[in-house]
Structure 1
Amino acid sequence: MASTFQTAVITGATSTLGVACATHLANAGYGLILVDANRPRLHAFADAMTTRTRQAVEVVPMDVDSVAQRRAFIDKLALDESRLGHGPHRGRPWRHA
């Protein structure tokens, strides 16, 4: 079944739950934006996902506890919102947490 979404953002991508979600979504045909603070694990996981699923995978080394880093990331996503399809922010501006 084709999805209206093109890309999924996974924070905590190298955690057990993040790996499970990313794997499931990539197998369903989603491209991935993987976000995690652990650069070596993040890059290794992204390489493995690209090899295994042949989906587009982008890595974002980021500490989600940092307000400044979150805001910069959200601003970048808002500028390129078309990659994320029609998610919960459709027709509304992104809000900073």
Structure 2
Amino acid sequence: MFISRGTAVITGAASNVGIACAERLAHQGYDLTLIARDRQHLLVIAARITDQSGRSVEVLAANLALADELTRVEAILRRDASITLLVNHIDGEPAGLDSRTLMALGVIAPARLADALAAGFSARGTGSVINAASVAALVPCPFSRLH
């Protein structure tokens, strides 16, 4: 018998950190919704986690740096009352991305996704958000406007 802790949504789920997070949460009793750009990679990850844990794993391919895709994901999350945890994680090292894309992935998307779930979390009296960031955010970077 499986006891569910609800659904955990993980962004950047195709990265090593995202995969490790997903595996651990599945073994702790969470069903999962995995979000990243590469649908095929997500499907492979989802199948492996389901086989190992028996948990339900959904995939949602989206580039959260794109406004229309972020809006689509927000709408999906708002409708899902099973979500009890959001893990905002940037997928890998975004080297070579312009400032707008970095801001979209590192600030705007996490804030909007948390906001999309906040009303439901409040109404149900439960829900958590984990914002994972790189330690690079704490290190001064020459010629970088963002760190």
TM range (shorter): 0.7 to 0.9
Using CA pairs below 8 Å that are at least 6 residues apart, which structure has the higher relative contact order? 1
Q: Which runs of 4+ in 1 moved over 2 A?
A: 85-88
Q: Which residue matches 2:60?
A: 60
CA distance in 2, matches of 1:17, 1:85: 20
Highest CA radius of gyration, 1 or 2? 2
Matched position secondary structure for 2:23: helix
Q: Which residue matches 1:26?
A: 26
Aligned-pair CA distance for 1:54: 0.4
Q: Which amino acid in structure 1 is aligned with residue 84 of structure 2?
A: G
CA distance in 2, matches of 1:58, 1:15: 16
Q: Does 1:46 align with 2:46?
A: yes
Question: What aligned pairs does 1:1-97 form with structure 2 within 5 A after superposition?
Answer: 5-80=5-80, 82-85=81-84, 89=118, 90-91=121-122
Count of paired positions: 89
CA distance in 1, matches of 2:54, 2:46: 11
TM-score by length of 2: 0.55
Runs of 5+ unmatched residues, structure 1: 93-97
CA distance in 1, matches of 2:79, 2:40: 27
Aligned-pair CA distance for 1:86: 7.8
Runs of 5+ unmatched residues, structure 2: 87-113, 124-147
Matched-pair contact (CA < 8 Å) for 2:33–2:57: yes
CA distance in 1, matches of 2:31, 2:60: 14
Aligned-pair CA distance for 1:65: 1.1
